[in-house]
Amino acid sequence: MEFGFFAQAHIPATLSAAEPGFEHRRLMENLDFAVECDRNGIKYVWCPEHHFLDEYSHMPAPEVFLSFVAARTEQIHVGTAITNTTPPVNHPARIAERVAVLDHLSEGRFEFGTGRGSSSAEIMGFDIPDKALTTEMWDETIREFLRMWKETSYSFDGKFFRMPERNVLPKLYSDPHPPLWVACGSPPTFEKAGRLGMGAFCFTTGTPGQLEPLVKAYKDAVADPAEPVGDYVNDNILAVAAFLCLEDREEAFRIHSESGGSYYVSLLYRWLDNIVMPPGVPTWPDVLPEPNPAEVEAMSQAGLAMVGDPDDCARVIQMYEDIGVDQIILSPLTTTLDYETAVTSLDLFGKEVVPKFDTDPVHRTTRMREQAQVG
């Protein structure tokens, strides 16, 4: 099991209203926390691309953020989760160029996560009239990046973008190319990710038991991919978990209950309207109630949150490992948790928990590349 950090740039209105400079401070805290992750044996920093999603995520330019992370760290891999590959949002040639530059500047530590946008606010903000078109756009563009990185005279005439003959520069630093990932939500997309030999971002919520069929659909498909996109198979699936690790488990349950986690989930369902809203989730502007400490403990017991002392966190990790998840993403700054407590939690987690599960000093994605080079 490996671990990562999700640099979401969540800017809750309660904090930004009380502190006019909070947006800037939280962006810088996300950067500083990524550096702390590198020091604590966390292997990945993931950064989304979101547009116009007030409070939920003020992170429209992951490649800019990740270039700063790469410059300030030594071992950690930096990855987009996701880069929006629809041509109206990002021209495919510009994506290929930016990936190649980040691949060079990080000297092979960049990971290329892809997707098609997560809400009508984003999609229609770039004049895409129908969410269904974004699936076609992703399908059309995903194989073109490999061509752009390899060919010296690339051209394309498709449904959603066209290019005359050009040499897309620079070419990649990595050989083979950076690991390829895609965002997944429903069982067919998990199966599709596996069939294409891509890593899967499991952004679906639920207990490990509820996620198990999705993980199985991916693992069954990736075991013998029918049409791999890349030059090697990135057999990898990750899941995102709420996180707080303290010596005093009761204190962890209390603090988590007061950190606005349910408000963040309410924002998720407010904006990400491509996700089916579960029963019981109120329609915005109504929000989910925050859990009390006893309810947080119950969430931890069920694997819904990795909250408590190191033993609590290890138990939840084992639940994810048992269903086949390869990486857990920590997201302590997608709450109102203060930065100092987040770092204290990370330090304890890095000391007491990470070494029990992540026993290979080499990144799993690097192992995938190495296998391809040997083959």
Q: At 307, is the secondary structure helix, strand, or coil?
A: strand
Share of the chain above pLDDT 70, in %: 99
Write out pLDDT tens, residues 115-135.
Answer: 999 899 999 999 999 999 999
Token match 């007030």: residue?
54
Express each pLDDT in 157-188 by its tens digit: 999 999 999 999 999 999 999 999 999 988 89
CATH of the domain at 370: 3.20.20.30
Whether the per-residue pLDDT at 274 is higher than 90: the answer is no
What pLDDT, in 10s, does the model give residues 64-100? 999 999 999 999 999 999 999 999 999 999 999 999 9
Measure the CA–CA gap between 232 and 247, rounded to whole angstroms.
42
- Residues 217-264: pLDDT tens digits? 999 999 989 889 999 999 999 999 999 999 999 999 999 999 999 999
pLDDT for residue 375:
56
CB 242 within 8 A of CB 306: yes
- Mean pLDDT score of the chain: 96
Neighbours of 15 (CB within 10 A): 17
Token code pair at residue 312: 């609590």
In total, how many domains does the chain have?
A: 1
pLDDT at 293 over 80: yes
Instruction: Determine the length of the chain.
Output: 375
Cα separation values, 173 from 104, 106, 249, 264, 372, Å: 5, 9, 45, 38, 16
Span 321-337, average pLDDT: 97
> How many Å separate Cα 20 from the centre of its chain?
28
Structure token pair of residue 31: 């950067």
Residue 221 to residue 218: CA distance in whole angstroms: 5
pLDDT of residue 65: 98
Q: Which domain holds residue 337?
A: 2-374
